[in-house]
């Protein structure tokens, strides 16, 4: 199947039934479906049941950036002009490609993204605007033009996971491209294990302080993920410090870590991950 529109789904120990369902829906919409598997134990079942157009099997878990690059190359080889990236757990709206097609000709469009429905949090995206320019969006649902990808370069494999999306989006903006969020379509995304600290949330509600209510919500990502978030966050800020609001980026990182250390269960493990992340950033340790 040849198509101007491709999708790259990165898998690692996936829920096979969900993958099969997503592939079926994406092919129905007209996508050329590439699965890049990061060395899952269930690769034989993925091979047999996924129904994808192209399966790329990596010999080890090389992380999200390397997997996306492998998928992009496969998509471009098949003639893709625009490529969607998805993770294995994200569900897409039935009108995703149909809506995206309407906006491919927007000025300086380097990428499109959808509104995001986060389970337990509602929708991230404007209810009053059909389209808006954004600075950042998740990897899942990110629809990048081949022309733009060739111009700004591949996903940065230094990072392994975390901040990979922010990095390529920043490079697009530095190159003069715009990222448009299309609020007439959406994806449904699960981000960690959402929990709300009743104490801080209660005070926020009592005092009508929305920021405190937001602070009370945390995703409970593992210390493993927290290490990469810290290390790669520092790398990202330094890499793009000539373009970013550096103070704002540091404040975001500090707020995120403060929440993890105050509100989540694995405080000691998260603290150790934070320290390792800072140390390894200074040592310029890259990849996994």
d(CA 278, CA 284): 10
Compute how many other C-beta atoms are within 10 angstroms of the C-beta atom of residue 242.
7
Overall domain count for the chain: 2
The radius of gyration of the chain's CA atoms, rounded to the nearest angstrom, is 19
Last residue of a domain, one of 189, 208, 242: 189
Averaged pLDDT of the chain: 92
Please report whether residue 254 resides in a domain.
yes
**Same-domain status, 148 and 248:** no
Residues 161 and 251 in one domain: no
Strand-pairing partners, residue 10, are: 36, 87
In this predicted structure, what is the pLDDT of residue 15? Answer: 93
pLDDT of residue 120: 53
Domain that holds residue 113: 5-189
Write out pLDDT tens, residues 137-190.
999 999 999 999 999 999 999 999 999 999 999 999 999 999 999 999 999 876
Q: Does residue 218 share a domain with residue 183?
A: no
Closest residue by Cα to residue 99 from 51, 141, 140, 53: 141
- What is the band of 210 on the pLDDT scale with cuts at 50, 70, 90? confident
pLDDT in the model for residue 231: 98
Examine the pLDDT at 208 and tell me if it is beyond 60.
Answer: yes
Q: Classify residue 157: in a domain, yes or no.
A: yes
Query: Do 174 and 84 reside in the same domain of the chain?
Result: yes
Residues 101 and 140 occupy one common structural domain: yes
Residue 288 falls inside a structural domain: no
Cα angle for residues 76, 77, 83 (degrees, 5° grid): 25
Tell me if the pTM is above 0.85.
yes
- Which run of H or of E encompasses 116? strand 109-118
Do 225 and 184 share a structural domain? Answer: no
What is the CATH classification number for the domain harbouring 82?
Answer: 3.90.550.10
pLDDT of 121 higher than 60: no
My answer on whether 28 and 104 are in the same domain is yes
Residue 91 lies in a domain: yes
DSSP 130: S
Residues 142, 180, single domain; the answer is: yes
pLDDT tens per residue, range 82-117: 999 999 989 899 999 999 999 999 999 999 999 988
pLDDT attached to residue 206: 74
What proportion of the chain, given as a percentage, has pLDDT over 70?
Answer: 95
138 and 162, same domain (yes or no): yes
Query: Which tens digits make up the pLDDT trace of 223-261?
Result: 999 999 999 999 999 999 999 999 999 999 999 999 999
Distance CA 66, CA 125 (A): 29
Same domain, 125 and 92: yes
pLDDT of residue 192: 61
H or E segment at 91?
Answer: strand 91-92
């Amino acid at each position: 199947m040849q198509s101007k529109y491709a999708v790259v789904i990165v898998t690692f120990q996936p829920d096979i039934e969900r993958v099969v369902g997503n592939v079926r829906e994406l092919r129905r919409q007209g996508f050329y479906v590439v699965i890049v598997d990061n060395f899952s134990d269930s690769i034989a079942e993925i091979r047999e049941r996924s129904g994808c157009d192209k399966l790329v099997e990596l010999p080890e878990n090389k992380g999200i950036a390397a997997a996306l690059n492998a998928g992009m190359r496969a998509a471009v080889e098949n003639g893709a002009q625009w490529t969607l990236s998805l993770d294995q757990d994200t569900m897409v709206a039935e009108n995703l490609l149909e809506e995206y097609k309407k906006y491919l000709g927007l000025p300086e469009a380097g990428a499109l993204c959808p509104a995001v429905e986060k389970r337990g949090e509602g929708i991230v995206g404007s209810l009053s605007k059909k389209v808006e320019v954004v600075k950042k969006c998740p990897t899942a649902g990110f629809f990048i033009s081949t022309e733009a990808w060739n111009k700004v370069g591949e996903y940065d494999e230094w990072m392994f996971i975390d901040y990979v999306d922010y990095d390529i989006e920043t490079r697009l903006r530095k190159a003069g491209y715009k990222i448009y969020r299309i609020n007439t379509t959406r994806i449904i995304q699960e981000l960690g294990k959402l929990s709300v600290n009743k104490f801080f949330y209660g005070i926020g509600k009592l005092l009508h302080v929305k920021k405190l209510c937001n602070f009370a919500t945390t995703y409970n990502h593992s210390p493993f993920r927290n290490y990469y978030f810290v290390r790669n966050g520092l790398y990202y800020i330094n890499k793009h410090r000539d373009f970013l609001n550096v103070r704002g980026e540091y404040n975001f990182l500090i707020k995120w870590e403060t929440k993890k250390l105050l509100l989540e269960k694995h405080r000691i493990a998260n603290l150790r991950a934070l320290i390792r992340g800072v140390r390894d950033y200074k040592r310029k340790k890259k990849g996994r």
